[in-house]
Amino acid sequence: MGVLNLTPDSFSDGGDLLCGAGAVDADALLRRADAMVSEGAAILDLGAESTRPGAEPVPVAVERERIVFALELLKPRFDVVCSVDSSAPEVFEAAAEAGAGLLNDVRALRRPGALAAAAATGLPVCLMHMQGEPGTMQDRPAYDDVVGEVAAFLRARMAAAQDAGIGPDRLLVDPGFGFGKSLDHNCALLRELAALETLGVPVLVGLSRKRMIGALTGREAGERLAGSIAAAALAVRAGARVVRTHDVAATVDAVRVAEAVRG
Ligand code: HH2
């Protein structure tokens, strides 16, 4: 899953795909998408609001406009699933109409109206764990048993989704690396990722260029490729089925090796 951030302020690639006025830069988006698809991405994840700690909220109308514009540009040109990284029910419906193939919600459909809106689209959904809200989630993350609590949260959100009409055949889950987690929490989740396989749906991971990689390697966001690749390989070895990445070519190679070893 290649990351395409249509945001001014994402932590590693913010502003790359927007023009000065905040509109999506069509040429830049097409170039980046084309590169990702030729490097082996099966999914492109479009996000129009940064979730990094302290990011500015984006009005829902702006988020929807950027997402729909990008989908209308990409869908006719690329034979891949276009995923939409959003928590807004208003965006789900518009995205589904514009050809989205997956909803990726870092809030696991907890916004009012999100469960019903996602159900109505008929699309698959990725439910991610996050402790707290983006603005403050890294202030003091705390767990007694991070792996058990993340698994229990995801199980509860799967049950809520099922009640709303979204069965397990339409779900993926994600432990949410870096979302309300210390370095120790992130490492414990990666070490014990296989525990999430008991949920019975595919596991997606987003580790690419994240702060945990920076903490472990001492490197800035643009220099975290090798660390991110190591984390992706470990995650696939432990059962991850989808890897969200900014660096598709290198990650595809690492995933192929880890998959072959996993068997
Ligand atoms: N991480 C980010 C955004 N969306 N979705 C899922 N399912 N899993 C993740 O780990 C995940 C995600 C944050 O990364 P990025 O999009 O690069 O940054 P930003 O939130 O600053 O736009």
Q: Is the pLDDT of residue 174 over 90?
A: yes
**Residue 22 contacts residue 67 (beta carbons within 8 Å):** no
pLDDT of 170 = 98
pLDDT above 70 coverage of the chain, percent: 100
Q: What is the mean pLDDT of the chain?
A: 96
Nearest residue (CA) to ligand 1, atom 5: 106
Global pTM value = 0.97
CA 125 – ligand 1 centroid, Å: 15
| Mean pLDDT in residue range 174-186 | 98
Q: Is the pLDDT of residue 226 over 80?
A: yes
pLDDT of 208 = 98
pLDDT of 209 = 97
Helix (H) / strand (E) element for 244: namely: strand 242-244
Strand order in the sheet with 43-47: 2-5, 43-47, 81-85, 102-105, 125-128, 171-174
pLDDT, tens digit, 9 for 90 and up, residues 132-152: 988 888 899 999 999 999 999
pLDDT of 251 = 98
pLDDT, tens digit, 9 for 90 and up, residues 231-242: 999 999 999 999
CA 123 – ligand 1 centroid, Å: 20
| Catalytic site includes residue 256 | no
Q: Is the pLDDT of residue 20 over 80?
A: no
CA 258 – ligand 1 centroid, Å: 22
pLDDT grade for 78, boundaries at 50, 70 and 90: very high
pLDDT, tens digit, 9 for 90 and up, residues 44-57: 999 999 988 777 78
Region of residue 132 (left: phi > 0; alpha: psi -120 to 50; beta: else): left
Q: Which residues line ligand 1 (CB under 6 A)?
A: 3, 5, 7, 10-12, 47, 50-52, 85, 104, 106, 126, 128, 174, 176-177, 204, 206, 244
φ, ψ for residue 38, nearest 5 deg: -70, -20
φ, ψ for residue 203, nearest 5 deg: -100, 130
